[in-house]
Amino acid sequence: GGRGRGMVARKLLVALLSLSLVCGTLSASAACDATLPADWVHTALGLPWSGSTSLWSFVRVFRKQKMVLCTVPGAGSTLLRTFINAIAVSLSGGEINMNQTTPHAEMREAWWLTPLETMTRKQVQEIACDPSWTKLAFVRNPYARLLSKFEDKIVRHGKDMKPGGEAYKEFRIPAERADGLNFTHFTARLAGVAGLTPDVLDGHSHHIRHRQPVMNKPHSESEYVDEHFRVMSNFCGMRYIPYEWIRYEDLAPGMNRIASQMGVSQHPDVAQQIAKFRPRSTCDEALRLGRSYSEVDKTRVREYFAEDFKRFGYSDAFPTCDEPPHPRQ
């Protein structure tokens, strides 16, 4: 009698566990279906350079290794794209080499990688809901990211441009050449875009330079702000796909983790890319930011990137340092 009751109890427990797993799978799938809109890809895509017919992908998929890597512009993306290409080279078994790759390979050129944006919504849904997939996104402190890209894309490129060239005529939006190389003027432009409503944008389009959208979805940030200055949450389907964040401040350990998980740590091309990363110390970074940010700049950036601060776990308090700057090596 007792043995029979024990068998029944065990069968009942197995049945309940099975039902729990089925229900858990169904509820997870339903939740994913509810959170991944059909047009999720719009904000995940980058716009092409002038004259290009291709779209830029920020998300690369390694199907066999079940890994998704999102490289946000301004969070080490150039180095990371080369790093990802090096991984692809290592995994190709000699089919491709680094001379065939570029840091900013577009979709049609990077045939050895699968852009997430080109997959069907159902496929993306399955990846998003499958815990056996590793989904990683590289992010950066918004204060540091914006200043770094302003110095790179506006200050450095602005000085390097040659008069008469097409690129010389305009800065990357929303920056205006009339503002010069002034960071406070730039944050004012960014704050201005954030405060505009669709009807104001329509009525004042002659005051705001904007790109021709690739898809017919008006008033998105991508039409009025260059990808290097956009909200990071707008990339890679961040709001719908459960990524794990790798912060720029911890980029080297993150790259080592990926290389190890992929089984390519010893490949010379991969090791070379990891060795290229030279992060600033936290204190040096804080001092650098403090020299460029006014109080009004801090407020504008805090408000414009509020979603990023919250989503990626960065404090919106401005970085400070009471230690003397570290000497550069």
pLDDT band at 298 (very low <50, low <70, confident <90, very high): very high
Taking residues 177-196, report their average pLDDT: 84
Residue 78: closest CA among 148, 128, 147, 127: 148
Mean pLDDT value across the chain: 73
Query: Is the Cβ–Cβ distance between 325 and 287 less than 8 Å?
Result: yes
Range scoring the smallest mean pLDDT among 25-29, 172-176, 269-273 = 25-29
pLDDT band at 318 (very low <50, low <70, confident <90, very high): very high
CA nearest 282: which of 323, 236, 314, 312? Answer: 323
In this prediction, residue 40 carries a pLDDT of 65
Does 146 or 10 have the greater pLDDT score? 146
pLDDT at residue 14, as a whole number: 33
Q: Regarding predicted confidence, which is higher, 55 or 237?
A: 237
DSSP summary character for residue 244? E
Strongest mean pLDDT among 49-53, 158-162, 266-270: 266-270
Summarize pLDDT for 104-138 with one digit per residue, the tens: 544 444 566 777 877 888 888 899 999 999 999 99
| pTM of the predicted protein model | 0.76
| pLDDT of res. 103 | 53
Whole-number pLDDT of residue 155: 87
Q: 90-104, 116-130, 181-195 — which is least confidently predicted?
A: 90-104
Task: Tell me what the mean pLDDT of segment 27-46 comes to.
Answer: 53
Helix or strand (DSSP H, E) at 20: helix 2-35
The dihedral over CA atoms of 60, 62, 65, 67, expressed in degrees to the nearest 10, equals 20
Structure tokens of 242? 């459960």
Yes or no: say if 181 and 158 are a contact pair by the CB < 8 Å rule. Answer: yes
Q: Which of 78-92, 218-232, 240-254, 309-323 has the lowest mean pLDDT?
A: 218-232
